[in-house]
Amino acid sequence: MAVITDWCCLEFKYRIRLPFCQIIIPADTCGYRDQIKMEELDPSRVSEAVVGDCESLEKKKAAIRNAGPAKFQVIADFDATLTQYWINGLRGQSSHGLLQQGNPEYDVKRHELFEYYHPLEFSPTIPIEEKAKLMEEWWEKTHSLLIEGGLTYDAIEKSVANARIAFREGVIELFELLEERGVPVLIFLAGLADIIEEVCFLCGVMLVLLDLSVDIPCNLFVNCE
């Protein structure tokens, strides 16, 4: 994602604020700091990312440029990657966390699962293989509750309308740019694609999703009413 963001910033001057860092890398970043003292730098040209291997980064940038947009694809997570982590000083909601079934009993049950599994997801002591099984277990239990307790499109629409969720600065412009250049987008998430589409609709990017080659490998709500 860093390389993708860097490529967009270099060629099209969009700034995408990602979790844990802001990646804004001018073309000459790696050598720029060696030539001029930090206090003399133009703030707009200073990278806010820490690059561990400048040579490798330059090679990747060159490969992307040489291949061109026809060989380029954007692969992105959704929650807290395309969306804001903090909104007005409060933790932004995830695509799963914002969902309210309209059935208080099952909303409580899903929240209890969150309270149990969420700390395990970020535990530094659990091996990745074990953690993957726990996350799959969480996913299966949560979706079983959605089926058992019932879910409607109205509930999805109301949940998103009342949610604390928003795209990061520059994401909408990025989608528009990718649409213009014909670059496909792949968004990964464990939640419902219906929620993502509703978020996009409320943020004014539904037309982009209809026209752009966007693929969302995730779960899809099927109305059986």
pLDDT 10s digit of each residue in the chain, 225 long?
A: 333 333 333 333 333 333 333 333 333 334 333 333 443 445 555 566 788 898 999 999 999 999 988 888 888 889 999 999 999 999 999 988 899 988 899 999 999 999 999 999 999 999 999 999 999 999 899 989 988 998 888 999 999 999 999 999 999 888 888 888 888 888 877 778 888 888 888 877 654 444 444 554 444 444 444
State the Cα–Cα distance between residues 61 and 117, nearest whole angstrom. 38
User: Does the annotation count 79 as an active-site position?
Assistant: yes
Q: Which domains does the chain have, with CATH numbers?
A: 104-148 (1.10.150.340)
Q: 94: closest CA among 2, 165, 37, 147?
A: 165
* From 79, 154, 194, 211, active-site residue: 79
User: Does the annotation count 77 as an active-site position?
Assistant: yes
Question: DSSP string of 146-191?
Answer: HHHH---HHHHHHHHHT----BPTTHHHHHHHHHHHT--EEEE-SS
Start-to-end Cα distance in the chain: 40
* From 6, 34, 53, 77, active-site residue: 77
C-beta of residue 165 within 8 angstroms of C-beta of residue 93: yes
Both structure tokens of 9: 């910033």
Both structure tokens of 183: 């670059």
Q: What is the pTM of this model?
A: 0.66
